Amino acid sequence: MEWTNLIKLLNLLCSGALTSIQLFCYTLLFSLPLGLAVALGRMSKRPYIRGPIKFYILIMRGTPLLLQIIFVYFAPSFMMPEGFRINLDRFVAAVIAFSLNYAAYFAEIYRGGIESIPQGQYEAAAVLGFTKSQTFFRIILPQVIKRILPPISNEVITLVKDTALIQVLGISELFRVAKNESSRLFSTLPLFVAGLFYLAMNWVVTRVFHLAEKKLSYYK
């Protein structure tokens, strides 16, 4: 392959990767806080809150993300009665589906972390007069974050690779671009280079989590 063609290919892949990275960032932005809310709902003492949340987590973790993407995109326009039909932007639909899906996984990680904090921490905070929200945000959550970093990093790495799924909506993300170029050029090289792109992105993710763990290693 000539140099000019290679540079053209890299250019295309970069623009595809940009779309993937955008989806990645939006998903984290929405699913990390949403997951915390879902975790708190999942741990609620009230069955009418806990029940639906458990059902939500079951659906999100129990069906393919690919199916969820298709559902979120098509349901508002096909399943709604006449007059209520909405045409969602493809990318917006993808962000919604990803955020809902990842929030369910993050929620269970948060829950595991929160439930691993000894009861004594809550009691010490209570007798010192901390309110419930102060106790959660000042005492419990910082300790939870340290404990859940490894499982969260697993999910975030998976998310980088899952972004390839939105090609089902015809969005030109990294993998779809690579596949198209591959057929056009009769070469597997674009797919191979795309693989290197994913690897590079996950190398960055791994580094970030490594630094975060190091930063929180000042206590045990």
Partner 1 sequence: MQILHVEYLRKSFDGQTILSNVSLEISKGEVIAVIGPSGSGKSTLLRCLTLLERIDQGKITVEGDVMVDSPNGHPRYAPEETLRKIRLKLGMVFQNFNLFPHFSVLQNITEAPVHVAGVPYEVAKANALELLEKIGLSDKADAYPYQLSGGQSQRVAIARALAMKPDVLFFDEPTSALDPELTGEVLKVIRALAAEHMTMMVVTHEMAFARDVADRVIFMDNGQIIETGTPDQIFLNPTNERTKTFLQRFSENG
138 is a site residue for partner 1 (CB under 8 A): yes
CA 207 to chain centre: 18
Stretch that binds partner 1, among 40-48, 73-81, 90-98, 127-135 (CB under 8 A): 127-135
CA 137 to chain centre: 22
Stretch that binds partner 1, among 26-34, 48-56, 92-100, 113-121 (CB under 8 A): 113-121
Binders in 139-178 for partner 1, by CB under 8 A: 139, 142-143, 146
Q: How far is the CB of 134 from partner 1 (least distance, A)?
A: 6
Q: How far is the CB of 142 from partner 1 (least distance, A)?
A: 5
Stretch that binds partner 1, among 38-46, 62-70, 99-107, 137-145 (CB under 8 A): 137-145
219 is a site residue for partner 1 (CB under 8 A): yes
Q: Closer to partner 1 at the Cβ: 130 or 209?
A: 130
Q: Closer to partner 1 at the Cβ: 47 or 129?
A: 129
Stretch that binds partner 1, among 8-16, 39-47, 136-144, 156-164 (CB under 8 A): 136-144
The gap between the terminal CA atoms of the chain, to the nearest Å, is 54
110 is a site residue for partner 1 (CB under 8 A): no
Q: Closer to partner 1 at the Cβ: 87 or 133?
A: 133
Torsion angle in degrees (nearest 10) through CA of 9, 11, 13, 19: -160
The site for partner 1 (CB under 8 A) is made up of 118, 120-121, 123-124, 126-130, 134, 138-139, 142-143, 146, 218-220
